[in-house]
Amino acid sequence: AQSVTQPDIHITVSEGASLELRCNYSYGATPYLFWYVQSPGQGLQLLLKYFSGDTLVQGIKGFEAEFKRSQSSFNLRKPSVHWSDAAEYFCAVGPSGSARQLTFGSGTQLTVLP
């Protein structure tokens, strides 16, 4: 069975600092990997996705993530955090060939200090 672990429940960073959110997955085949962001009162928004090819993927809002098969990881990074990045971030894994039955991690809440 597929699973996703986000080991950090809550992360606090200062505005302008760099950010890395960790995601580890368990999946028997080649996974499709996603990062979503959820702000209060808003729906989940896709930040980026990995299907194949270059293991470093660029997303919206200046985010990037790197797929490391040997470590079963797909960590999200941003070089300089903005106050508007404060939100909850979810990593998700889906079966190759479709995004239909995504398995989400439990999320990481990001707080940004001024």
Out of 1, 28, 43, 114, which residue is the one contacting another protein (CB under 8 A)? 43
| Of residues 30 and 84, the one with the C-beta less far from another protein | 30
- Minimum Å distance from CB 77 to another protein? 20
Per CB under 8 A, does 90 bind another protein?
Answer: yes
| Of residues 42 and 70, the one with the C-beta less far from another protein | 42
Per CB under 8 A, does 41 bind another protein?
Answer: yes
**b/e sequence 59-78, b meaning 16+ C-beta within 10 Å:** beeebbbbbeeeeebbbbeb
Residue 90's Cβ-side half-sphere holds a number of Cα atoms within 13 Å equal to 16
